[in-house]
Structure 1
């Protein structure tokens, strides 16, 4: 028997239709039922397969394909039932039923363990609740994002403002640096071009920070050779101790300037004499020393001449002793000279007062009193020199206060308030006399013209400019020279104006006058070098 015979007609069996006696009604019922069942079995797996393909996210989608195979096999058995009504293909039917049985057992074996897992899957209500929570979380996230965006925008705005301020600050700093660079260049040019030696040292270590070419060549070096060197090592050994003592007083603030003639040590080992004038730059807030500044004048030729003169006169010891005694008497004689000059000027002052009392002409009387103020200024200069320590210089601040007070008290008929503000400044006779006369003329001019029958204020100031120059300022809150041509701070044609112009020219100064609110006269001139 061949395989086809076994599949289609095993052992000559009869088809199922024979069992139904080929009754048309029964055959029709079985055929129609199996056809409908088969078609249903074939349509159901196709629907399941289409659903699974549209839902690739299903967790157990492969089980659906197993159901598809099982149901298709079941549908095939019903179709075979129709075939076996007429064809005894019981072998094929058996094989199909065997495949259906295997798929059924496999589906059942796999399905039961999956039931707890499938039951654990969230329900539709749970999914809707989870979706609701998810939407609430999304809403909160959007609100958080909006708040974050607001904060980011606010922070960005703050950063932009800070960046603008930083840019502005950098621009201001750049301008300040440029101005500082210009000032530094100007100062360096002035520093290097000076004919005398100039030095800058660290006030605590004494090391050179900057020296100009004149000083370096005086010692036989180039400027760069001295930078960072100890300044005391270039002082002649025998002069170091005394120099340190004087410098210690300057550093402690006991004196404002340091003047000394001393010997320096040249590169070739020989001494060279120099006259040192030094001062300390201090922090305006803490008063701590920041920088030592010195001016060194080469006086070696003068000292060599003195040494040669002393050598030539070595055998004239008695004359040297007499000269020494005379030098010891110099202070006494100078004080006596100053005293006598002051007394003589006081006599002249008394004569002027007596003469003014005898004169009836107001103009002549005013001229005598003006002359008296000038004489008083000269006498006060000699009085200050007589009381100074070195008989050559004195502090100009108390001098200006006493002088201005005397002029106001002697010339004011109404209530005039006087304010004197002057920096400490050591001046000599040649500087003090024209300065005192200038103050006398300017204060007298203000008393005469600024306050016609009313009280007022006169300010006398002596200041030091940033460039080291000195400014004398005499200001009042009177009517101003625009209202009275005679009160023009020395710009008129009278005797007082001529004296003021001559004194300004003598001091090498420059004068400016402002008359918007009262009168302000400012005279600038170079600072005096005390000797």
Structure 2
């Protein structure tokens, strides 16, 4: 404290008024400043030493030295209060000044760089960004790891799939070095590990012998970038065995669609090739067998149809003679039955239909009442033999004329009725038809055949319509069959757009039914629309409930006064109570009539009676004498409504004869009496039939029994027409026709019309006949109408000179329709507007096409003529212009044979056919052309 109170101080400005508090203040402040100045540099130096990334380190060190020097200066300030070491204090101040100046000198140039240093916020943002990037990097690394795992799994799965593929799989790089193969290839190559093949080329592997070919194929894929697929080739394996392989090679692409390699598969198809060769051999054998079968069927067609032709032809001749009602009925039944057999035979022999499962339906207007009765009458004999009652139709049917395929409908009905007869031992079979839905002009018809037979279980009903399914498969079954009948019925019904079924109870009979939708056609003059029976009186004796209902509906519909008795006693009671001025008709079965004392019965009556007797087929052939003693008309069961009507009209008008219809008079037609016809036929029955039918129209007929005899006759005599059988001994009709057309033959008239007359039913026969040079075609059995049409068609002109052929005018009235509207409408989906538009285009274009044809005839350009005729044939076919189509076919054949006379003769026929077609189109479609 002595120093504090001494006055011996170096003079300072603030020491002029020195005192103890002031001194203490300065000492303490300088001391703590110096202490702080000494500690700050220590902290700075420690910080810089720990931070390697500190920028501008010299600044930190200079700043630390500056602060340290400042601290010494303050410390010297305390010391110099008492010690006069002013030089030392000055030195430290100088040192401080030097450090300060050095710091300033160093710092000033660095200021711009230091100013550019980021601020704290920026550093924080950068820090956050770095943190985020670090997290993203970690996520990416995790995703990469997952991808690697998934890729490994995919590769494993792909490897498994490739190894499971039963063909060799491989892939190569652009240098054609293998980059991978599947297990199959590895095993086939006899290798154990994929490393034995990876990186190698085909030249370094066991199949080096084929390396050149493989390289060529691989390079083609690499260079073109296109695949080579399904390449079959024959190879030799390493053991010398020949094998067949199927190879596929496709280019491998990178993400830039650049080809970087080839992927291929190699499949051993040796066994398949062996099987294919065996199949080819089997196919050839099958084709040979099929040809043999077709030839057999063609021959059998002739052999089967020839006697059947004789039967039908003889029946046609017989029908054209004077017959009474019974005889006419028998002839008609025989004829209808034979025609049904003939139609069925056609289907069996037509391989193209049967094997394809397609049948062509031909729709015509048919009276279904008459059709049903005809079918039933054909089966009536079998029913009588078994003691069964065959009822058809089961109720009165309003006259129903509909567009149906008569042959197919008869086939279905015959099959179903025959089936019912087969399995019914007692009772009756009822054939019925009802209209279940009518939306004019269409209606849905339901046909049913009910029997009182054994019935069918539910289990067996499900099998009925399958092929070759029979209810009793035992070898001792009483009723044999192929098991095809009901299956054929189903196919036919479905082809008609209908459906078929059965309802049955075992032991209680069955009802087979089918439904078809068809077009109803109005027909004038139907019995039920006639009023000529109004007021007539009829008494019916019928115990059968079906007949009772049938006559009640039928007679009521015709406005006939009637009463029904179901017993003889009731019948007599009604008869004796009857009081009427007009004649009364009594309807009953023949057996009732024979059991009654008719003479005694009539003696008790005060009015006239006549009898309409329902009789069996057998009774109709041997009419009981008793029926001839009274006014009786016999009608065979099953009844036809039209026959019942005609019988009642006949009885009312006091028909003097005891028959329903007058004898049929022979045809008297001398239209062709000056013509000579040559019939070339070898079968004696067919000669009688054909000759008789031709002579009905007046021509003189000469017969040659084979083609050779025909040529001999034609070289000596002139004929107007030839009917030529196709299959004959010595020389057939085809060869004979070719020789007649040939200029080398010595016949008088090479261009005489020749009509094919054949028993063949196979498709293509017509074309074969025309190709041989024949002019027209008749498929046996022939009938009077067909013969007449042919005679009119080819003998219509008065003058036919040698080498000339008839030009049809009225002769175009052939059986071939001018326009098949039903076919045309069906193909155009019944679209009236479309039908008219197509027809208008046809009518507008055809004159130009025919004119082109005429110009080509003038130039005799056969090649162009054939092409134009083919075009006309197609156009006519599209229009369903049947006559034009047939003429175009003949025209085309004539041009191909270079027969210009025939070509020139056919052209006016085509013109006339077009004119008739145009008139028909105006009439049917209302074109107003």
TM-score bracket, shorter-length normalisation: 0.3 to 0.5
| TM-score, normalization by structure 1 | 0.35
| TM-score, normalization by structure 2 | 0.22
